[in-house]
Amino acid sequence: MIVMKFGGSSVATADAIARVAEIVRARLDQRPVVVVSAMGKTTNRLLEIARAASAGQRDHALSLLYELRDFHLAESSMERTVEDHFQELSEIVRGLAVLGELTPRSIDAVSSLGERLSSLIVTRTFQRAGLSAVHADARKLIVTDHRHTHAAPQFEPTYARLAGAIPPLAAHSVVVLGGFIAATPEGVTTTLGRGGSDFTASIVGAGIGAREIQIWTDVDGMLTCDPTVLPGGHRVKRISFAEAAELAYFGAKVLHPATVLPAIDKNIPVLILNSRRPEVPGTLITADPIASSNVIKSIACKKNVTVLNLRSSRMFMAHGFLRSIFEVFDRFETSVDMISTSEVSVSLTLDDASQLTDLTAALSQFAEVTVDRDQAIVCLVGENLKTTPGVGARIFGAVRHINVRMVSQGASSLNLGFVVNGSDLLPAVEALHEEFFHELDPEVFDA
Mean pLDDT of the chain: 92
pLDDT tens string 306-362: 999 999 866 555 567 888 898 999 999 888 888 888 777 899 999 888 899 999 999
- Looking at residue 411, its pLDDT comes to 57
pLDDT tens string 20-53: 999 999 999 999 999 999 999 999 999 999 999 9
Which residue type, as a one-letter code, is found at position 337?
D
pLDDT tens string 105-135: 999 999 999 999 999 999 999 999 999 999 9
pLDDT band at 408 (very low <50, low <70, confident <90, very high): confident
Q: Output the pTM of the full model.
A: 0.88
Q: Is 304 left (phi over 0), alpha (psi -120 to 50) or beta?
A: left
Higher pLDDT, 343 or 270: 270
Distance CA 180, CA 139 (A): 10
Among the ranges given (149-158, 263-272, 420-429), the one the predictor scored with the smallest mean pLDDT: 263-272
Specify the CATH class of 298-446 in words: alpha beta
Q: Is 375 left (phi over 0), alpha (psi -120 to 50) or beta?
A: beta
**∠ CA 115-117-123, rounded to 5°:** 100
The CATH architecture assigned to 2-218 reads 3-Layer(aba) Sandwich (3.40)
Strand partners, 4: 34, 214
- Looking at residue 431, its pLDDT comes to 97
Residues in contact with 397: Cβ distance below 8 Å, sequence separation at least 6, in sequence order: 435
- Looking at residue 314, its pLDDT comes to 65
DSSP 8-state code for residue 188 = -
- Looking at residue 65, its pLDDT comes to 97
- Looking at residue 340, its pLDDT comes to 87
pLDDT band at 218 (very low <50, low <70, confident <90, very high): confident
Domain with CATH 3.30.2130.10 in the chain: 298-446
Instruction: Quote the crossing angle between the two packed helices 113-128 and 14-25, to the nearest 10°.
Output: 60
- Looking at residue 318, its pLDDT comes to 58
Whether the per-residue pLDDT at 295 is higher than 90: the answer is: yes
- Looking at residue 322, its pLDDT comes to 83
pLDDT tens string 188-197: 999 998 778 9
Q: Residue 379 to residues 122, 250, 337, 400, 436: CA-CA distances in angstroms?
A: 37, 7, 11, 16, 13
Greatest CA separation for the chain? 72
Contact 373, 415 (CB under 8 A): no
Higher pLDDT, 253 or 164: 164
pLDDT tens string 6-26: 999 999 999 999 999 999 999
- Containing 235, the helix (H) or strand (E) segment is strand 235-236
- Judged by DSSP in three states, 409 sits in strand
Among the ranges given (81-85, 212-216, 350-354), the one the predictor scored with the smallest mean pLDDT: 350-354
